[in-house]
Structure 1
Amino acid sequence: MSQSELDLLDQLGGTDGIRRVVDEMYVRVLADPELTHFFEGVPIEKLARMQAEFIASITSGEIEYTGADLTRVHAGRGITRAHFSTFCGHLTDALEAKNVPSHAIHQVLGKLAMYSDKVTGSSNVDG
């Protein structure tokens, strides 16, 4: 694991800090009328565990994401880039609420943005 990845995971409070951020984020997401319908019938506790694992995996080279394929799980759900952006806004708010430094928040969002096509089903035709 590179020093910058270790630093990023540390700045998020390690895996426990990530779990707290994700729990805070889902409080916000589930209260958002633009997003809440995507989570009807979804076991939120399990989803939060997998989301925390996913975020940990993209911020650390030593943590492996063991959840379902992102493209398959999100396919056909009608998630747009606007929905993805709103979700990321709630993540940002949760990170800020947990006093994560702004440069670490930007790093997390940059890493998460690399997965937006898998979540929205869009593709970047510009390469």
Structure 2
Amino acid sequence: MISSYADLMKAVAEQSEPQRLLFVFCRAELPDDASDEEKAGFERGEGGALTPVVCVDKAPDEVTDFDALVAESRETGQHWDVVFVAAMSGRGGMKPSSDEAQQPLTMMVESIRLGHLGNYLPLDSRGQALALG
């Protein structure tokens, strides 16, 4: 069971094929037409929609430290609440390139926009896994 970014990095290191990590940083937002009840829930940290604001792919050795990843993400000027992570496996001992990651990363962003979150690991800004639902 992966409950943190550190757990994820251990699991990635144990894979038989080299990996590439896909990150989609999302901001929690309320729609303009939210009801008072929805607004109150949102203030308690419930509900809302997750809007992708930044996405990037990285080799695991580029992101060993979650705090450094967070600092880099903040340089974009985009506030985010949740980062979704997926791993992409290489083949034949070759790690996936950034070019190869572009289509899966685009599909990941679109999946998140549509609310299909089950295939991704959601983490908070401290690198702890979140239970969404």
- Tell me the TM-score normalized by structure 2: 0.25
Higher RCO, 1 vs 2 (CA within 8 Å, ≥6 residues apart): 2
Give the structure with the larger helix fraction: 1
The answer to which structure has the higher strand fraction is 2
Q: Structure 1 length normalisation: TM-score?
A: 0.25
Q: Could you say which structure has the larger radius of gyration?
A: 2
